[in-house]
Structure 1
Amino acid sequence: MTDLRTRLAHVYWLGGGTGAGKSTISTHLANRFGLRRYDTDRSMSDHTARSSPGETPYLQDFLAMDMDERWAKRSPEVMLDTFHWFRGEAFGLIVEDLLSLPAEPIVVEGFRLLPELVEPLLADRRQAVWLLPTPGFRRAALEWRGSLWAIAGRTSAPERALGNLLERDRMFTQRIAGETARLGLTGLVVDIDRSEEELADQVAKLFGLGRTGSTQ
């Protein structure tokens, strides 16, 4: 593990709840500080194809379900506890991808960066931040993107499915907040009273970007 910490010492980890603005903030940081950017959401299809069925049982169960079974017929609690990415399945493929890239400063972002999986990889604990959106911020962000009904609208019970999704994601953010606190890592609450620029500035400061000895 010490070797992995050394090999990944150039990585800045930006995790957190869904709808927290991770993609937006990571893009700000990449543009401002000349970082490479790795979006774990975009790798999900590739990682699904590369995964061994025996190592991803929750993913296999999810793939076998229709949209109603996934989002409308199960409780938010069951959805939270059985969602494959929330269980850390295929996280090793994220690490594999990072190790295949040039060893230059890179910001990695996505909800798949669970604190308990990232913590053992940190050479510098300051290089990991988790964004914790309030329920109000999450809903406003999804409405602004036009994606509020993107999943729920494909079920036969959109209102129920949306309620399930929002509650599942609220509980996931709560879980992330608990894990960052337990491990002594950095969690940052995100609410509607903070601009993108202000949030990007705060994350950059937490990462130590712009200091002497950092990327700029």
Structure 2
Amino acid sequence: MTAEPNHHNATILWIGGPAAAGKTTVSRLLAEKYGFHWYSVDSHAREHEERAAAAGLHVMGTGPGDFDRKPMIMDDLRALPAGTSVVVEGAAITPGMAGVAANAVWLMPSREEQVARLQRRHPEGGIDGYVWGWGLVQSQLEGTGASVIVVDGQSVEQTLEAVEGQFSAELAC
């Protein structure tokens, strides 16, 4: 199963995973290197929440909610100029949203690696919500056949190389 293509016949690459997996860094580097548009699902969370509330699907102020963000993401992608290939990344990307085809990958640290990365990122603490998200992403991936890259001990360059390998057919087009 693959995510629906945008109406431009352009490539869509999906990168998911929990906080501190390296999604944003790697997806930005990938987009820059191959001339793709970079789209952060997480940075559109508030806008999507407002759109869902306006449609009666969500109550503002209750968090990101369980509404299906894929239609809004696909609307955003269709609004890009014709022929724009895009790297879509975010913690909210699920196998149900992106599909489990060759154009989707999840970066997964072990729980211990995620905690260590989060502690470096947030020395003041307050990482429990992020750690909770690790379990959510892990449960969404179980039994799906989704492509997962374990990022423990990897440098940004090594993770980028692994993602390029996953997307080699799409990047060759």
Instruction: Give the TM bin, normalised by the shorter chain.
Output: 0.7 to 0.9
Residue 146 (structure 2) aligned to one of 174, 181, 185 = 185
SS of equivalent residue, structure 1 residue 47: helix
Counterpart of 2:57?
55
Q: Which residue of 2 aligns with 1:175?
A: 139
* Segments ≥4 residues shifted beyond 6 Å: none
Bigger Rg, structure 1 or 2: 1
Q: 1:194 aligns with which of 146, 154, 161?
A: 154
Measure the CA separation in 1 of the matches of 2:122 and 2:88: 24
Sequence identity, in percent? 27
Identify if the C-alpha distance between structure 1 residues 3 and 133 changes in structure 2 by more than 3 Å, giving closer, same or farther: closer
| Contact 2:106/2:147, CA 8 A, preserved across alignment | yes
Which structure 2 residue ranges, 5 or more long, are not aligned? none
**TM-score normalized with structure 2 length:** 0.82
- Structure 2 distance, partners of 1:95, 1:147, is 36
Give the Å deviation of 1:198. 0.4
Query: Superposition RMSD on alpha carbons, in Å?
Result: 2.9
Count of residue correspondences: 170
In structure 2, the CA distance between the partners of 1:2 and 1:130, relative to structure 1 (3 Å rule), is closer
Pairing 1:137–2:105 present: no
- CA distance in structure 2 between the partners assigned to 1:14 and 1:91 by the alignment: 14
The yes-or-no answer on 1:110 pairing with 2:90 is: yes
User: 1:22 maps to which residue?
Assistant: 23
| Letter paired with 2:168 | G
Report the CA distance shift for 1:167/1:32 in structure 2 as closer, same or farther (over 3 A).
closer
**Contact 1:55 / 1:89 at 8 angstroms: preserved in 2?**
no
Structure 2 residue 1 is matched with structure 1 residue 13: no
Q: State which of 144, 160, 166 in structure 2 corresponds to 1:206.
A: 166
Structure 1 window deviating more from structure 2 (105-114 vs 46-55): it is 46-55
Distance 2:44 2:73 in 1: 8
After superposition, give the CA deviation of every residue in 1:176-211 in whole Å (9 maximum; x if it has no partner): 330xxx3322111221x1111000000011011686
What residue identity is the alignment partner of 1:132?
Answer: M
Task: Give, in whole Å, the separation in 1 of the partners of 2:123 and 2:10.
Answer: 35
Q: Report the Cα offset of residue 2 of structure 1.
A: 9.5
Q: Name the structure with the higher helix share.
A: 1
